[in-house]
Amino acid sequence: MHRKRGFTLIELMIAVAIVGILAAIALPSYQREVRKSRRAEAQRVIGEIRMAQERWRADRPTYGTLADVGNPGTGNPHYAFTVTNNTATTYTITGTAAGAQASDAEGATSCTPMTINQAGAKTPAACWQQ
């Protein structure tokens, strides 16, 4: 007597269900890590803007606008960067998330916008810790 080889429909459906469950668990975790890495990239750009501000201020009586310091954040599709409150002694750099990155959060704290000032005060604080 010959036995037929292969999978039954039930076995195939169980395998598909297991793959679906694993994907449903893994995908949100993956997306969270992608948003976190994009946030780290935004923090790097904000650091570049801070350094450019200090170079600008070393030769001039005030901190500069984003255009003055060379706009290091140009081309980042996930964040828009601005410099506000730029005077002789202060500035505030803001990175505002766009698109899917706008749902970035650390726990219950939304991570958009992220700001830092000339004194190094970072908000929201939870989003700056890596």
Residue 121 lies in a domain: yes
The reported pLDDT for the residue numbered 61 is: 94
pLDDT value for 129: 81
Q: Strands, E, within 51-130: which ranges?
A: 79-84, 92-97, 105-106, 109-110, 114-117, 122-123
pLDDT at 71: 87
Q: Residue 56: phi, psi to the nearest 5?
A: -60, -45
Whether 17 maps to a domain, the answer reads yes
* Domain assignment of residue 1, yes or no: no
Structural domain tally of the chain? 1
Place of tokens 């000032």: 117
Domain that holds residue 122: 9-128
- Domain assignment present for residue 19? The answer is yes
- Give the pairing of strands 92-97 and 105-106: unpaired
What pLDDT is stored for residue 130 in this prediction?
62
d(CA 124, CA 122): 6
Decide if 50 is inside a domain. yes
Which residues does the chain have with pLDDT short of 70? 1, 130
CA distance 66 to 70: 6
Beta-bridged to residue 96, according to DSSP, are: 80
CATH code of the domain covering residue 39:
3.30.700.10
So what's the pLDDT on residue 42?
Answer: 95
Whole-prediction pTM value? 0.83
Q: What is the DSSP string of 29-61?
A: HHHHHHHHHHHHHHHHHHHHHHHHHHHHHHHSS
